[in-house]
Structure 1
Amino acid sequence: MSKVNQFINHIEEGIAVISMIMASILIFIQVVLRYLFNYSLIWSEETARFLIIWLVLIGSSIAVREKGHATVDALVTFLPPAGKKVFSVFANLAGIVFCLILIWTGVEMVSSVVELGNVTPALGVPMAIPYLSIPVGGGLMLFRFLQMLFIDVKRSYSDEEEHPEEVVEK
């Protein structure tokens, strides 16, 4: 599992870095062309927009992996360790449900766009390519939430094995 995890890490980070660099370069070139030469590239804004969309959805998966999402933990900080574990499992389950909904609606949207044959206005590429970022990002986030759930459950189980007297007392 470690090699698969490392492979997915590299893919996520590679897509995120390439998307960020390409979008930044395109936006910079567009600004220079527009303000210095009074000329603009028709396709650059659309391309940068789609790159940023891919970056955000892939970056969301990286944020789940790094536990970098914003959390509201005012209540959780006052809970005992067992309560924190329960809330962590609940949060991961809620994330999994969200990702399943995101994947489901994303796949429906992509298939609808493919059926209609829509293309982007400036680039002329199939709209399915930018829309594909939704189920792909959702799938990567789902993978990360499942990993986090597995870690939480495994950690809870190993804590019970290490301290069986505490489990009996509860």
Structure 2
Amino acid sequence: MTAQPETRSALGRAVDEIEETGIAIILGLMCLITFINVVLRYGFNTGLIWGLEATSFLFAWLVLFGISYAVKVTAHLGVDAIINIVPRPMRRALGLVAALICVAYAALLMKGAWDYWANFANLPQTTGRWFPTGIEEMTRTSYRGWYEVVDIPFPEWLRWIEPIMNEGEHYEKLPRFIPYVILPFGIALLLFRFIQAAWRIWTGRAESLIVSHEAEDAVDEVSDMNKGD
């Protein structure tokens, strides 16, 4: 079955823009910081102390943006050995089951990502072992907004958050809740993409979940090149 052209909703278009713009900005910043560090190191025998940590965080952001974007563009690898030997109606059923498993998996990740980030953002974690069953009660000792990263300095234009997150105390380094926010945000994007994929199968616009044939395409490309020789 050939996937039918899909009219994207306003939400879908907004998520597309967020992912594509975010990936482009992150790649640009990683290249810029790395280039500046190389010039400073080999040209002036110095460097950005915080450069390595910054690029590490940016790479983590890139990965978490990338996994949801790869779902959208069907770039994740898939094994279709079983799907190809069953009748077409069964393919759709198997695809829907796989999509629902992915949605449940992303929901589990979402709880873990929120609870981890909330620990640094002065926000309550959820109760329940697997799925949220409520909100934990916050106490004064629960606030962890004062945790900082190792090297990245705190930007002056963010001083306004100190009374909110750090009881008015000055930050010397960037608080961890800022780079760690990509955890719940990125997993929320992944959950959204899996729900989209499940909906496409349910409405008949696709018969299986995301499947990429990169290996087969590479073999075909090499074969075509050899024929040309």
| TM-score bracket for this pair, using the shorter chain length | 0.7 to 0.9
**Corresponding residue number in structure 1 for 2:183:** 134
- For residues 54-133 of structure 1, the aligned pairs below 5 Å read 54-114=61-121, 115-116=143-144, 117-123=146-152, 124-133=173-182
Q: Which residue of 2 aligns with 1:154?
A: 203
Matched, 1:24 2:73: no
How far is 1:37 from its partner? 2.5
More strand by share: 2
Q: Which residue of 1 aligns with 2:217?
A: none
Measure the CA separation in 2 of the matches of 1:125 and 1:77: 51
State TM-score, norm by structure 2. 0.64
Gap regions ≥5 residues in structure 1: 157-170
Does the Cα contact within 8 Å between 1:106 and 1:131 map onto a contact in 2? Answer: no
- State the TM-score, normalized to the length of structure 1: 0.85
> RMSD between aligned alpha carbons?
1.5
Report which of the two has the higher share of helix.
Answer: 1
Question: Number of aligned pairs?
Answer: 156
Amino acid at match of 2:150: P
| Cα shift at 1:15 | 0.7
Distance in 1 separating the partners of 2:84 and 2:91: 8
The amino acid across from 1:76 in the alignment is: I
Offset of residue 121 of structure 1: 1.1
Q: Give a deviation string over 1:19-40, Cα, whole Å, max 9, x none.
A: 0111111112212222332211
Question: Any idea what SS the aligned residue of 1:120 has?
Answer: strand
For residues 21 and 130 of structure 1, the distance between their equivalents in structure 2, rounded to whole angstroms, comes to 17
Point out the structure with max Rg over C-alpha.
2
By how many angstroms is 1:68 displaced? 1.1
Q: Give the gaps of 5 or more residues in structure 2.
A: 1-7, 122-142, 153-172, 206-229
CA contact (8 A) 1:61 1:144 kept: yes
**1:113 partner SS:** coil
Q: Percent identity?
A: 31
SS in structure 2 at match of 1:122 = strand
Give CA-to-partner distance per residue, 1:5-58, whole Å, 9 cap, x none: 111111111011100111111112212222332211011111111111111111
